[in-house]
Structure 1
C-alpha cells in the first residue's frame, strides 16, 4: 500500500504541472472568469477529458496485489487493474463547468478507461461517469470553486468521489475477493493523492481568480487616480491647455511612452516620445486616429505600418487609440503610444478602455456644466437688462417727456416697457419659448428705442404665420436686433433691419439682416466662437446664442454669420422643426 504512494504522487505531479501551464494560458483564464456558454463548455469537456485520458495512460498497474510500474498503460491484463488520478480531473471539470461538463468529462474518461481493459474496467467507467455528473450538480448548486470559497469543500468532494469509486468496484468488479484485495491496496493512496491533487488544482484556479481581481483592483485604482487628477482640466473641455496638462498626468500614471489627445480636427496635446513631430495644433498625423474618429471604436496598432505615421523614423511602434465621446458622439481621441510593442498588453488595453469611459463622462459633465453656465448667463443677461441703468434711464426719460405732450403714447410705452421686462423674466425661466413671444420681446424693445430715435432705423418682420408657435431658445432675436441698432448704424442716417422666418426641408430658417457698416474682418474670425474685447462690444450675445443652439439642437441646428464691409450683416439660424414636438412638453 505505502509503496504505491510515491508512484501515485509522481503521476499526480504530471497533471498538476500540466494544470499550472494551462493556468498561464489567456484563453483558459478567460474561460475560468466568465459564464460558460456552449462553446466554452465544449472546451472544458475537451480539456478535462484529456486530463482523464492522460490519467488512464499514466496509471500504475496492480496485478494480484503486485505493483507494476510502467511509463505508459496502453493495455491492462484481464485479471489486473490500474491505480490513477482520473477522478481528480473529472471532479474538477464538474465543479468548474456544471453537470453537463461533468457528465461529458466523465463519459470521455470513463469510456477510455473501459477500452484499456482489466477486471475493474466496467466498475471504473461507471464510477467515473457518476463522479462527473454528481460533482457537476454539487458545483452548480453550491458554487464550490470560487475565490470566496474554501478549497477544502472541493477537496472533500474529490475524496468522496474516490470513495464512491472504491464502493462501485466492490459492487461490480468480479471476482469479489480480487476486488476486495485491490481496494485494500489502492484505497488509501488513491484517496490521499487525489485529495492532494484536487487541493493543488483548486488553489491554482483560485489564484487565477484572485490574480485577476487584484489586477482589476489595481487598474481601477490607477484609472480613478488619473481621472481625479485630470478632472479639473477635462472640466474645461478639449482645449490646448487642458489636454496638455491631462496628457502629462496620464503619461506619468501609465506604462505608455507617449500620450496624445485630439479633437475631431487636430492634435491638442502630445507628451513623451515622438514629440518632435507629433505637435499640438497640427492636423492628425496618423490615419489610425482618423479611423477611430470615423467609427467610434477602440483600435490597436502593433507596428509602425498600422500606426501609419507620415514620419518614417517615428519611434512609436505600437498604440491603443480610444474614442472620447459626448452623448454618443465621438468628439476626440486618447492615444497611448509605445516604443516597444511588447509593452502593449491586456492590462494597458483595459486601462485605456477604462480611462476612455471616465474621460468621456468628464467631458459630458463639462458640457452639462457649460450649458448650465450658458443658461445662467442668459438669465443674468435678462436680469441685467431689467435694471440696465442706461436703458431704464433713457426709457423713463422718454416716457416722462411724452406724458405732457402725448399721454396716450406715453401710456403705450409704459405698457411696452412692462412687456419687455415680463419677456425677460419668462425667457430666463424657460429653455425654449414660442417664436411669437420672442417677436413680442423684440417689438417691445423696438418701441422704446424708436421713441428716442424715430427716424434712425426701420425694422421689418417677414414671419410666416404657421411658425408663430414654433419653439426657439429665448434671447436669440432680441440681442441680434439690439446689436444691429447699437453698432451697425452709427454712421448712417437711415438703417434697415429685416427679420425673416420660413421653412425649408422640415427646418425653420430664421434670419436677421441689416444694411449697416458690416463687421471688420479680424473680428469676424472670432465672433461667435469666443468673447472678444473691442470698441463695438464683447460679442457675448452672439457667442451665447451659438453655444445654446449647439447644446439644444446639436448637429441638427446651425448658426452662421455673413458680413461685408459697408454692406451689412446677415445672421442665419437653422432650427429643426421636429424638435418642436418634444420641446413643447419641456417649456
Structure 2
C-alpha cells in the first residue's frame, strides 16, 4: 500500500498538469464556464472521456501483491488489476456538465477500461459508468438549488465514488480472495489519491473562473470609464472636435495604437500611429473601412494586406472596424488599430464590440435629444411670435388720426411702429438678442402707447453700464412693461410710475420691472408663471410664456419671481446666467443674426 501511494500521486500529477495546460486555452475556459449547448456537452464528453483513457493508459498494473513498472499500458494480464485516476476525471465531468456529460464520459472511459482486460475489467467499467451517472445527477441537483460546485463537494463525491468502485470490485470480481487482496492494496491510495487529484483539478478550475470574472470586471470598469468620459462629446454628435476628443480618450484607456472614427463619407478623427496619412476631412484610406460601411458588419484584420491601406509604409498591421448604427442605419465606423497583430486579442475584440454598441446607443440618444431640442425650439419660436393684433390696429388708428393733425408726429410714430414689428420679426427667428435690441423694441412700443395715453404713466430706465451687449431672449422685457401699463393702473386717476432696473450680480443678469399700481391679488401670485389663470382683465399668458421660454432656453438656470402688495404695486424679477455659453454648449454669437 505504501509503495503504491507515491506512484498514485505521480499519476494524479499527470492529470493535473494536463488540466493546467488546458486551463490556459480560451476555448477550454469558455466550454467550462458557459451554459452548455449540445455541441459544448459533446466537447465535454470527449474531453473528460479522454481524461479517463489517459488514466487507463498511465495506470499502474497490480498482479497479486506485485506492483508493475510505470509504463504505457495497452493490454494487461488477465489476473492483473489497474490502479489509476480514471474516476477522478469522470466525477469532475459529471459535476460540471451534468448527467449527459457524466454518462457519456463514463461510457468512453469504462468501455476503454474493459478492453484492456484484467480480472477487474468488468467491475471497473461498471463503476466508472456509475460514477458518471451519480456525479452528473448530484451536480445537476446542486445547480438547481442555486449552489456552486465547490472543491470540497467535489472531493467528497470523488472519494465516495472511488470507495463505491472498491465495493463493486469486491462484489463482482472473481475470485473473491484476489479481489479482497487487491482492495486492501489499492483501496486507500486510490481513494485519497483521487480525492487529492479532484481537489487540485477543481482548484485550477476555480482559479480559472476567478481570473475570468476579474478580467470581465476590469473590462466592464474600463468600458464604464470610457463611457463616462466620452458621453459629453457624444451628446454633441459626430463632429470633428467631438470625435477627436473621444478618440484620444479611448487611445489613452486601451491598448490600441491608433483610434479612428468616421461618418459614412469621411474621416472625422484619427489619433495615434499613422496620423500622417489618416487625416480628418478626407475619405477613408483603408479598404477595410469601406467594406464595413457597405456591409454594416464587424471586420477584423491581422495583416497589412487585410487592412488595405493605400500607403505602403503604413505601420498599422491589425485592426478591428465596427459599424456605428442609429436606428439600424449605418452612421459611421469606430476603429481600433494595432502595430502588432498580437495586441488584437479576444479581450480587445470584446471591448471594441462593447464600445461600438455603447457608442451607437449614445448616438441614438444624442439624436433623440437633438430632435427634442428642435421641438422645444419650435415651441419657443411659436411663443416668441405671439403679437397682440389689437395693438397693431390701435396703433394704426392713432397714426391715422395724427395724419390729419400732426403729420410729422404721425411719420415718427409710423417709423416707431415699423421698428417695433421689425424687432418682433427678428426676435421670432432668434434664440438670443443683445439687450440693447430688446430695449430699443421696448422704447418703440412705449412711444406708441404714450401717444395714446400721454399722462397715464412715466417710466424710468436704470441700466448698469456695459450690459448693452449681453445676450438675452427676445420678448421678455416688453410684455412685462405692457402688463404694468394695462393691468397695474388701468383706471387710476393719479399718474403711474414704472421702473425698469437692469444690473449684474453674482454672474447673473437681473431684470426688474416694478410699478406702483394696484398690485396682484395674493391668490394669483402663486400660479402666475406656472399656468394660465382665469381673470377678467387678463389670464397671465405673457408671464407664463416668459417662464416657459426661460426654462426651455436655460435648462432651469434662469428664474422668474413675482412680489406684490395690493394697491401698492408689483415687481417682477428675472435672473439670467451671464455665461450663456455654458448653458447652450455652443457659441452663442452664432445665435444672433445681424
The CA deviation at 1:294 is: 2.0
- The aligned residue for residue 360 of structure 1 is 360
Are the structure 2 counterparts of residues 197 and 247 from structure 1 closer, same or farther at C-alpha, using a change threshold of 3 Å? same
**Distance between the aligned counterparts of 2:265 and 2:588, measured in 1?**
22
Retained in 2: the 8 A contact 1:95–1:145? no
What's 1:220 paired with?
220
CA deviation vs aligned residue, 1:260-302 (integer Å, no higher than 9, x gap): 0111111111100000010111111112112212222211111
Within 5 Å, give how 1:291-440 maps onto structure 2.
291-387=291-387, 393-394=391-392, 396-398=394-396
Which residue of structure 2 aligns with residue 123 of structure 1?
Answer: 123
Aligned counterpart, 2:185: 185
Unaligned runs of 5+ in 2: 403-586
1:68 aligns with 2:52: no
Displacement of 1:69 in angstroms is 2.2
Give the whole-Å Cα distance in 2 for the aligned partners of 1:187 and 1:272. 65
1:22 and 2:25 aligned: no
1:496-544 deviation line (CA, Å, top 9, x unaligned)? xxxxxxxxxxxxxxxxxxxxxxxxxxxxxxxxxx999799x58xxxxxx
Q: Distance in 2 between matches of 1:249 and 1:383?
A: 41
Unmatched 5+ stretches in structure 1: 405-529, 539-587
On the 8 A contact 2:139/2:149 being kept in 1, the answer is no
Compute the displacement of 1:97 (Å): 1.4
CA contact (8 A) 1:229 1:249 kept: yes
Q: Measure, in 2, the Cα distance between the counterparts of 1:84 and 1:154.
A: 18
Q: Which deviates the most, 324-333 or 159-168? A: 324-333
Alpha carbons of structure 1 residues 167 and 331: separation in structure 2 relative to 1, 3 Å: same
Q: After TM superposition, where is structure 1 displaced by more than 2 Å over at least 4 residues in a row?
A: 143-150, 391-404, 530-535
Q: Work out the CA distance in 2 between the residues paired with 1:345 and 1:266.
A: 28
Larger Rg: 2
Residue 100 (1) aligns with residue 105 (2): no
Match of 1:386, SS state, is: coil
User: Would you say the 8 A contact 1:144–1:154 is kept in 2?
Assistant: no
Q: Is the 8 A contact 2:96 2:149 kept in 1?
A: no
Q: 1:144 to 1:22 in 2, by over 3 A?
A: farther
1:147·1:206 contact (CA, 8 Å) conserved in 2? Answer: no
Q: For the residues of structure 1 that align with 2:401 and 2:110, how far apart are their CA atoms?
A: 111
Counterpart Cα distance in 1 of 2:145 and 2:206? 8
* Cα displacement string for residues 305-362 of structure 1 (whole angstroms, at most 9, x for unaligned residues): 1111111111111101111121222211110000111111001101101111111121
8 A Cα contact 1:156 1:195, kept in partner: yes
| Alignment size in residue pairs | 411
SS in 1 for 2:279: coil
Superposed CA offset, 1:151-204 (max 9, x none): 100111111110110110111011111111111111110011101111111111
Pair 1:237-2:237 in alignment: yes
8 Å contact from structure 1 (residues 145, 202) kept in 2: no
User: Which residue number in structure 1 is paired with residue 55 of structure 2?
Assistant: 55
Offset at residue 393 of structure 1 (A):
4.9
Give the alignment's Cα RMSD to 1 decimal: 2.5
Contact 1:95 1:144 in 2 (8 A): no
Aligned residue number for residue 153 of structure 1: 153
Assess, with a 3 A threshold, how the Cα gap between structure 1 residues 178 and 533 changes in structure 2: closer, same or farther: closer
What is the distance in 2 between the residues matched to 1:131 and 1:124? 10
In the aligned structure 2, how far is the partner of 1:211 from the partner of 1:60?
35
Structure 2 CA distance for aligned equivalents of residues 226 and 304 of structure 1: 28
Instruction: Give deviations 1:54-105, integer Å, cap 9, x for gaps.
Output: 1111111111122122312222212211100010111111112111111111
Aligned to 1:198: 198
Change (3 A) 1:67 1:534: closer
How far apart, CA to CA, are the structure 2 residues paired with 1:534 and 1:44? 66
Using a 3 Å threshold, how does the CA distance of structure 1 residues 144 and 137 change in structure 2: closer, same or farther? same
Q: 1:399 to 1:377 in 2, by over 3 A?
A: farther
- What is the distance in 1 between the residues matched to 2:589 and 2:38? 64
Q: Aligned partners of 1:25, 1:361: CA distance in 2, in Å?
A: 33
CA distance in structure 2 between the partners assigned to 1:34 and 1:24 by the alignment: 16
SS in 1 for 2:386: helix
**CA–CA distance in structure 1, aligned partners of residues 199 and 590 of structure 2:** 76
Paired position in structure 1 for 2:249: 249
Alpha-carbon distance change, 113 to 403 in structure 1, aligned in 2, over 3 angstroms: farther
Tell me what 2:261 maps to. 261
Would the alpha carbon gap of residues 399 and 374 (structure 1) be closer, same or farther in structure 2, given more than 3 Å must change? farther
Secondary structure of 2:321's match?
A: strand
Q: Give the equivalent residue in structure 1 for 2:470.
A: none
Distance 1:261 1:323, change over 3 A: same
Contact 1:146 1:206 in 2 (8 A): no
Aligned to 2:175: 175
Question: What's the offset of the Cα at 1:143?
Answer: 2.9
Which deviations, in whole Å up to 9, do the C-alpha atoms of 1:539-568 show, x marking residues without a partner?
xxxxxxxxxxxxxxxxxxxxxxxxxxxxxx
- TM-score (norm. length: structure 1): 0.67
Q: What pairs up with 1:575-586 in 2 under 5 angstroms?
A: none
- Greater CA drift, 5-14 or 135-144: 135-144
